[in-house]
């Protein structure tokens, strides 16, 4: 078994094999085909998430039957630093990813989500972009004094607001076509935005343990101990967009969902700070939804992605 590292940019794939071979390919269908011809079915291929520029080659190699893993950019850089590789170029990154493929046994093979799930993920990403636009325009509008500039900003604000409404309506329509939506039914706080965010951006939901899913999203308390020192546990890393949506949903859930309301009140009565109690409830909320989705898949196995 050999390791293969693929450093992705918009036009080029820099590829390194653990045997020492190196080559560059175009990041296009022609280049993906040429790369596949140089690979073995026994290879472990690791590539780094690069602003979705990796999605095409990732899908092509997966459909061709190769073992492929997409790693987080921070995870890859931390591995490089741990190996003493401080310099950074595309070719060096490819070599580092090939080494990572050989020595890290906890890498997970990429499993493509169903087309409907991927589409929802793209809609959720676009929704977040529009929300950020609204926030920026509102900030600028508060500081503008010129009448013409204020009119243009107000027009931009109105257009973004209308687009956000259309996006959320589109999410509702797409959610109705997904059987897995029933797993979120009757859970207070699990509205359209949270449900579609988890479905679209967390394809691992229902397939990981409660500890693994909490760590993936970034709501698992991580130890900070050394020798006799016991540091304060904290949460960090994970999927920021998902965590932000989960936080807002938990604000509703701790008021209306009985198990979470009871948990929040108990933690506050025990002297926990509001944010600490909320993060604990976020983790509990995520674990509940993860279990419900797992039960749904056990009763209704999803069709394999084409």
| CB of 291 closer than 8 Å to CB of 210 | yes
Per-residue tokens: 111 = 């499993």
Question: Per CATH, the architecture of 3-103 is what?
Answer: 2-Layer Sandwich (3.30)
Percent of the chain beyond pLDDT 90? 71
Least confident of 7-11, 26-30, 115-119: 115-119
Q: Looking at the predicted structure, is the pLDDT value of residue 275 above 60?
A: yes
Residue with tokens 């325009």: 137
For range 4-13, the mean pLDDT: 94
| CB of 283 closer than 8 Å to CB of 199 | no
Q: 70: which DSSP letter? A: E
Q: Rounded to 5 degrees, what angle do the CA atoms 191, 194, 195 make?
A: 75
Q: Looking at the predicted structure, is the pLDDT value of residue 233 above 80?
A: no
Residue 71 Cα distances to 49, 106, 131, 218, angstroms:
6, 11, 27, 16
pLDDT at 306: 45
Per-residue tokens: 5 = 């590292």
Q: What does pLDDT average to over the chain?
A: 91
| CB of 141 closer than 8 Å to CB of 157 | yes
Q: How confident is the model at residue 108 (pLDDT cuts 50, 70, 90)?
A: confident
Q: Rounded to 5 degrees, what angle do the CA atoms 156, 248, 218 make?
A: 110
pTM: 0.81
Contacts of 191 (CB under 8 A, 6+ apart): 249, 252
pLDDT, tens digit, 9 for 90 and up, residues 171-192 = 999 999 889 999 998 899 999 9
Torsion of CA 66, 69, 73, 77, to 10 degrees: -90
What is the rounded CA–CA span in Å between residue 115 and residue 240?
23
Give the Cβ contact number of residue 71 at 10 Å.
21
What is the rounded CA–CA span in Å between residue 119 and residue 144?
37
What is the rounded CA–CA span in Å between residue 172 and residue 261?
27
Q: How confident is the model at residue 83 (pLDDT cuts 50, 70, 90)?
A: confident
Question: In whole angstroms, how large is the CA radius of gyration of the chain?
Answer: 22
Q: Looking at the predicted structure, is the pLDDT value of residue 215 above 60?
A: yes
Query: Strand, coil or helix: what is 45?
Result: strand
């Amino acid at each position: 078994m050999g390791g293969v590292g693929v450093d992705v940019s918009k036009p080029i794939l820099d590829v390194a094999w653990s045997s020492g071979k190196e080559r560059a390919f175009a990041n296009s269908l022609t280049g993906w085909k040429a790369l596949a011809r140089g690979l073995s079915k026994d290879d472990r291929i690791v590539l780094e998430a690069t602003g979705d520029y990796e999605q095409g080659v990732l899908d092509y190699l997966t459909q061709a039957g190769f073992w492929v893993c997409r790693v987080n950019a921070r995870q890859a850089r931390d591995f490089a630093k741990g190996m003493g590789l401080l310099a950074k170029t595309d070719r060096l990154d490819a070599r580092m990813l090939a080494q990572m493929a050989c020595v890290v046994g906890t890498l997970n093979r990429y499993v493509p989500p169903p087309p409907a799930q991927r589409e929802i993920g793209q809609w959720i990403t676009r929704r977040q972009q529009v929300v950020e636009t609204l926030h920026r325009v509102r900030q600028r509008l508060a500081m503008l004094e010129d009448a013409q500039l204020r009119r243009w900003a107000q027009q931009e604000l109105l257009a973004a607001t209308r687009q956000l409404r259309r996006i959320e309506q589109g999410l509702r329509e797409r959610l109705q076509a997904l059987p897995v939506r029933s797993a979120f039914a009757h859970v207070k706080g699990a509205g359209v935005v949270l449900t579609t965010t988890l479905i679209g951006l967390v394809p691992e939901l229902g397939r990981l343990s409660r500890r693994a899913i909490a760590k993936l999203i970034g709501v698992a308390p991580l130890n900070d101990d050394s020798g006799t020192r016991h540091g304060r546990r904290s949460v960090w890393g994970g999927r920021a967009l998902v965590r932000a949506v989960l936080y807002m949903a938990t604000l509703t859930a701790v008021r209306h969902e009985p198990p979470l309301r009871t948990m929040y009140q108990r933690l506050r009565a025990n002297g926990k700070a509001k944010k600490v109690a909320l993060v604990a409830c976020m983790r509990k909320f995520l674990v509940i939804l993860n279990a419900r989705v797992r039960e749904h898949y056990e009763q209704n196995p999803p069709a394999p992605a084409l």
